[in-house]
Amino acid sequence: MVKREAETGPKVELERLKRKVGLGFEVSVRWFPATVKYHNGKQLAEEVIGDTILIYTENPQKAIELVRHGFAEWILNQYTKPYRQLVNSLISLFEQQQYEKKEKTVETLAKLMATWER
């Protein structure tokens, strides 16, 4: 059975998982067996970017396991996505406000420095 699973490949496994769970039909998988990828100095075996699971192992059985891991991660990301969007919006608003304050301060300092010439 293990050999049969390995032969089905990551795409077939992902489709099986989608049907079993009944969601994630927009998720796709891409397998890059000869690619080595790092994040924060650590080698990645798989990653989920948006609705795509990227697999970076040459081992077909490991690729199947990583599809399962990546799909579970994608499901959990659906619950955290609104929180990330909220936090990112707050960060963006804060950065915009800080930029405007900084620019006002820079303008005031530039005017003050202009008076030093006299």
pLDDT in tens, 65-109: 999 999 999 999 999 989 989 999 999 999 999 999 999 999 999
Rounded Cα distance, 40 and 38, in Å: 7
What totals of helices (H) and strands (E) does the chain contain, helices first? 2, 5
Is 3 a residue whose pLDDT tops 60? no
Q: What is the pTM of this model?
A: 0.70
Contact between 44 and 56 under an 8 Å Cβ cutoff? The reply is yes
Rounded Cα distance, 118 and 106, in Å: 20
Is 6 a residue whose pLDDT tops 60? no
Q: How many other β-carbons are positioned within 10 Å of the β-carbon of residue 54? A: 19
Q: Is the dihedral of CA 20, 66, 62, 35 positive or negative?
A: positive
